[in-house]
Amino acid sequence: MAQTSTTLSGAKSHVVDISGSDISFTATSGVHTIKSTSTVLTGSGKLAVRDLITVTNTTNNNSTFTVKEVVSTTEFTVEEVVTTETADGSTSTSLDHTGFVTDKSKGDGYYSQPDGVHTVAYQVVNLNDSTDDFNGTIKMQGTLATTPTEDDWFDVSGTTMTSDQSTTNHAYNFTGNYVWVRAKVETTNQSGNPSMVTSILLNN
């Protein structure tokens, strides 16, 4: 089988943290939603599908969630379970953009080729200053499910890059009968440091 090359991610930056006293959480018939009455949550320069957000300053929903679907600029659904919680109009809830997962890409198991080697290359930003360097980790995840949910993904051993600002390029080989693979980026960058990933490339 011929080798294929896939761009899992192009350049992506940390978006400005979002806060508002009008942010609510609802769980209805298996759909888990975060929404506001006026605070802009999605759109240009805001959150997008597959972004990871860490929620703070709530009673029941201080956790990290994955954006599943954008409904409007003030509403999106998430992969994980939320607890219904209505905004009280005075307590400011914070949504911090703490990373993202890439769209899934076909792994070797998709083609029934369990002995194939995958190679992934991460390129991150390193300008040797505290405001423009990527701080965090990147790892590959795999699944054996043909139609995976968030619970079906697991980390692929030996593919984790932890930023140390010594280089901008990191490459890893891994072998496995994965039906789908994706990259997961987690960052401690704050709003004043937008730098995250330049590119993530996969060969298999």
Shared-domain flag, residues 86 and 117: no
Q: What are the tens digits of pLDDT across the range 95-136?
A: 999 999 999 999 988 888 766 788 999 998 776 655 567 888
Tell me what pLDDT residue 117 has: 84
| Single residue among 99, 119, 151 that ends a domain in this structure | 99
Q: What are the tens digits of pLDDT across the range 31-57?
A: 999 999 999 999 998 999 999 999 999
Predicted model pTM: 0.90
Which DSSP string corresponds to 97-138? Answer: EEEEEPPPEE-GGGGT-TTPEEEEEEEE---SSTTTS--EEE
Number of domains in the chain: 2
Structural domain of residue 80, as residue ranges? 18-99
Shared-domain flag, residues 92 and 133: no
